Structure 1
Amino acid sequence: MINKILSNTALLVVDMQNGFLSESGGMSKLGFDSSLLQKAIPGCIKLVKVARESDTPVIFTKYLYEKDFRDGGMQVEEIFPGIKDVALCAKGSFDAEIIEDLRPANEEIIIEKNRPSSFYSTRLEAYLRSQKISNLVICGVTTNICVETTARDSAQRDFGTYVVSNAVAEVDDFRHETSLKALEHMFAKIVSVEDIQETWLKKNS
């Protein structure tokens, strides 16, 4: 059990969208195997369920670009122009929506972003501070891009940062494992779905 996250803690579900997880989404169109990212789904479902049962706030993020990708920056224009070609996560598209199995409840917060970090140019930090949240449990995709960048930014802001190893996923096993090792070295505690379930279920006992 992780006593520190019994209170003042939120679950952050990162970018669990059709664009990354659906076989007809943009990532699949770019040639990536979406089934590798789908490995995060069961763990995320369990975490959202136990968070709701224990009255732990759940926050979702959505990676979104303008339809013409004018906000894509170097990532879209130079590093990975294929994103624009397949309209990955364009606003208003199928890609942009959170998968059906993780549909946010009406009262749950959705943070929209157009960069890997869930903190960069978003209202996330202001919301966390306003709710007196000091710890974040992070799940979602992809491990070494949006999850890792968010976790690093969380740690830099002195939030207790917990990354759930069996509820995050990457399209490459080496990058997944390397990312978790890098985070564990300085930025986050690496935990399991079972660790979180055991802890949050204690809140109701």
Structure 2
Amino acid sequence: MSQPSEDYVKEFNADRITEPARSALIIVDMQYATGHRTGALAQRMAAEGNTITDWRFDRIDALVIPNTQRLIKAMRVVGGKVIYVTIGAALSDCSDAPVHMRAFFQSVGNYEGQRAHQIINELAPEPGDPIVRKTSIGAFASTGLDHLLRSLDREHLFLTGVSTNMCVETTAREAADRGYAVTLVEDACATTHKELHEGTMRNFARFFGKVRSTEDVIDLLS
């Protein structure tokens, strides 16, 4: 992918995309490990009597899941690609993960073959949807995502998922630095604290890309 042309930049900033089939919806880490109220992180917090993740899971239920479902449908209608990014280890001792991630993966049982590693049923992939497993916070650092996107000739990326200020943001920044036109879908992302979510959106919109609502993205693709 070459550097964006002036027309490409204008299109990214406009109200319509002329080639929506060159878009991709990237759904980040919507797994039972940390992306569902019945999952490992939620169960651990409940057992500890800890309410710190309440805002996160309320938002996932009310916004992230239904809005991502709408975005999946809209992306498929225009011929765009739906790509799932997951996080977790391949090995049960998590030794294939970076040192700073191993303890967390182990604490929620996030490795291949475990329920925590599975994508939630509400957003289950369809046959042919790429699933890219990462072990790092950002997807580009530990996967072939860049190669996949370039092979599929995708230039407009729309990111949803968890956590806003961690895996979603890092992946979005990495994508922007590689020349993709990146949009964070504000009402389809969640994290533990409202202020972290809002801070990410403000910062990302300054230099990295666009922040749009689900409704705005659907209009943009239409």
Q: Distance in 2 between matches of 1:24 and 1:134?
A: 35
1:9 corresponding residue in structure 2: 23
Structure 1 residue 169, shift from structure 2 partner? 0.8
Aligned to 2:97: 72
Give per-residue Cα distances to partners, 1:153-177, cap 9 Å, x unaligned: 0001010011100111111101000
Amino acid at match of 1:53: V
In structure 2, stretches of 5+ residues that fail to align are: 1-14, 46-52
- Of 60-69 and 137-146, more deviation after overlay is shown by 60-69
| Structure 2 equivalent of residue 148 of structure 1 | 169
When normalised by structure 1's length, the TM-score is: 0.88
Partner of 2:121: 100
Separation of aligned partners in 2, 1:127 and 1:86? 29
Identity %: 28
CA RMSD for the aligned pairs? 1.7
Asked if 2 retains the 8 angstrom alpha-carbon contact of 1:20 and 1:28, the reply is yes
Deviation digits for residues 141-164 of structure 1 (CA, Å, limit 9, x no counterpart): 110001000000000101001110
Residue pair 1:43, 1:193 contacting (<8 A) in 2 also: yes
Distance 1:60 1:84 in 2: 22
Aligned amino acid, residue 57 of structure 1: K
Instruction: Please tell me whether the aligned partners of residues 21 and 35 of structure 1 are also in contact (alpha carbons under 8 angstroms).
Output: no
Q: Which residue is 2:58 aligned to?
A: 35
Q: Decide whether the 8 Å contact of 2:71 with 2:214 is kept in 1.
A: yes
Is 1:109 matched up with 2:130?
yes
Q: What is the distance in 1 between the residues matched to 2:192 and 2:92?
A: 25
CA separation of 1:3 and 1:23: change in aligned 2, threshold 3 A: closer
State whether residues 24 and 82 of structure 2, in contact with CA within 8 Å, keep that contact through their aligned partners in structure 1.
yes
Look up the SS of the partner of 2:136 in the other structure. coil
**TM-score (normalizing by structure 2):** 0.82
Per the alignment, do residues 125 and 67 of structure 1 end up closer, same or farther by CA in structure 2, a change over 3 Å counting? same
**Structure 1 unaligned residues grouped into runs of 5+:** none
Select the structure that is richer in helix.
2
Maintained 8 Å contact 1:37/1:171:
no
